[in-house]
Amino acid sequence: MQDTISAVTVDNKSVELAVKDGTIGPSVIDISKLYGQTGMFTYDPGFTSTAACESKITYIDGDAGVLLYRGYPIEQLAEHGDFLETCYLLLYGELPTAAQKADFDYRVTRHTMVHDQMNRFFQGFRRDAHPMAIMVACVGALSAFYHDSTDISDPQQRMIASMRMIAKMPTLAAMAYKYSIGQPFVYPQNDLDYTSNFLRMCFAVPCEEYKVNPVLSRALDRIFILHADHEQNASTSTVRLAGSSGANPFACIAAGIACLWGPAHGGANEAALKMLKEIGTPDRIPMYIAKAKDKNDPFRLMGFGHRVYKNYDPRARIMQKTTHEVLNELGIKDDPLLDVAVELEQIALKDEYFVEKKLYPNIDFYSGITLKAMGFPTSMFTVLFALARTVGWIAQWSEMIEDPSQRIGRPRQLYVGTPQRQYVTEAYRG
Ligand code: SDX
């Protein structure tokens, strides 16, 4: 990393700021000493031009539509590997040998059960509670059960907590789904792979044998790979900020789940499917495109646009291919929602508003169609996103904790409120 110097003039005073180069991608101007030297802050609401940290985990080139996990292109990982291999890569930085992979799979598999008292948590929820609300509550509550792995200064405990979260998210997600449909919880089965185990916990019933469809399991496993990490997005930044105070990893991941729930972020997959249902038929698309372009209308095309990608989201392309694979496997010849999605994409990509603003389909545009075809209700879509993103949150949290320069995150502000004034009793308040 080459340090070169760049000068900034503030109130006729020249301030020298270091420029740091990364391995690839944009360099940064180190402004950490700017306030001390000038008495001024930088201002960047939404962090559109701010690098909050150094990281070796994920790299995105938004203009080129490139996504790398530890240097490996997402297309190659999705094509050749499985989700637990991606988990190992994100956590340890290298692809596992066969022995390392077998050991990692074994360790994750043996943490898939949750403490049986977790079942009582569910009894407190309404059956129609949104499963994301249940996930925020239950993941946060994991810290009440695992005091032996909340000492974040102990690398061994950090790794145990990481294993526990990666392993238990599918079990909790399946329990949230089962609870919502009034069916009994299904325990994990250790002779199944990670994603097949999850499908069985969601869709098996005690009355009959459940056979996992290998095509659907492979498709969902690939969907998990696509969602595993994505640099410093809103929920990952939430996890990092929560973790910077020393909060335990379960509480930090619960904060990430809460942030992911928003429709501008991970909640977009649920919102995108609702939008496709509302549009209903291709002839109604022009009306919705007009609404999306109308500044006075809050409507946005859900599943379109991205803070970083100003090109096609590489995950969306793989997602689209997976959608067709799943629909073919299930013998769904014509899905009206897919017809609307394909037509909407074609119209939007030719519309000058979307072209000029570089708005392309993102990962959430096609995922809902696929998950719905697999049998998941829309309320479970963001839960599946959170299940997959847990490894990314954990990897980013660990990287932050292990960074010797790490301090509590504490942004400042531009104060535009009332200057200091004296208290007056009610009689003088007019
Ligand atoms: C995810 O950050 C990540 O990495 C997130 C994620 C991950 O893996 O973690 O990739 C997952 O969250 C994907 C994004 C899912 N969200 C949606 O699909 C919701 C719909 N998209 C938009 O809300 C929006 O595109 C965002 C939130 C994704 C990005 O917002 P930005 O970067 O703040 O962009 P913006 O709101 O400033 O929009 C720029 C312009 C605006 O017009 P102007 O004010 O400049 O005239 O584009 C317009 C917006 O009005 N615009 C849209 C639009 N998205 C942006 N107009 C219509 N439909 C849209 N979808």
pLDDT tens digits, 308-344: 999 889 999 999 999 999 999 999 988 899 999 999 9
Beta partners for residue 238, in sequence order: none
Report the distance separating Cα 26 and Cα 269, nearest Å. Answer: 30
Report the distance separating Cα 275 and Cα 195, nearest Å. Answer: 28
- In the block, tokens 């469809």 appear at 213
Tell me how long the chain is: 430
Residues with beta carbon inside 6 Å of ligand 1?
46, 230, 233, 264-266, 268, 292, 300-308, 357, 359, 362-364
The answer to whether residue 109 scores a pLDDT higher than 80 is yes
Rg (CA), the chain: 23
Q: Indicate which residue's Cα is closest to atom 7 of ligand 1.
A: 230
Backbone angles phi, psi at 204, to 5 degrees: -80, 150
Query: So what's the pLDDT on residue 118?
Result: 92
End-to-end CA distance of the chain: 62
Share of the chain above pLDDT 70, in %: 99
What are the pLDDT digits (tens) for 198-257?
999 999 999 999 999 999 999 999 999 999 999 999 999 999 999 999 999 999 999 999
Report the distance separating Cα 215 and Cα 233, nearest Å. Answer: 30
Report the distance separating Cα 148 and Cα 184, nearest Å. Answer: 30
Q: Quick one: tokens of 246?
A: 């020393």
Report the distance separating Cα 47 and Cα 55, nearest Å. Answer: 16
Q: Quick one: tokens of 201?
A: 């916990």
Report the distance separating Cα 99 and Cα 97, nearest Å. Answer: 5
Active-site annotation holder among 105, 265, 306, 313: 306
Per-residue confidence band for 4, with pLDDT thresholds at 50, 70 and 90: low
Q: Indicate which residue's Cα is closest to atom 20 of ligand 1.
A: 302
From the CA of 128, how far away is ligand 1's center (Å)?
29
Query: So what's the pLDDT on residue 406?
Result: 87
**Candidate from 359, 365, 385, 396 with most ligand 1 atoms within 8 A of CB, to mutate:** 359
The answer to whether residue 2 scores a pLDDT higher than 70 is no
Q: Indicate which residue's Cα is closest to atom 23 of ligand 1.
A: 264
Query: So what's the pLDDT on residue 6?
Result: 73
* Backbone angle region of 337, left / alpha / beta, with phi > 0 → left and psi within -120 to 50 → alpha: alpha
Backbone angles phi, psi at 130, to 5 degrees: -65, 130
Q: Give helix then strand counts, H and E, for the chain.
A: 18, 6
To the query of whether residue 306 is one of the catalytic residues in this protein, the response is yes
Q: Indicate which residue's Cα is closest to atom 4 of ligand 1.
A: 233
From the CA of 327, how far away is ligand 1's center (Å)?
28
Asked if 335 and 374 touch (Cβ cutoff 8 Å), the reply is: no
Average pLDDT, the chain: 94
Report the distance separating Cα 345 and Cα 15, nearest Å. Answer: 48
From the CA of 35, how far away is ligand 1's center (Å)?
31
Q: Indicate which residue's Cα is closest to atom 31 of ligand 1.
A: 307
Backbone angles phi, psi at 361, to 5 degrees: -60, 140
From the CA of 305, how far away is ligand 1's center (Å)?
4
**Candidate from 58, 86, 300, 315 with most ligand 1 atoms within 8 A of CB, to mutate:** 300
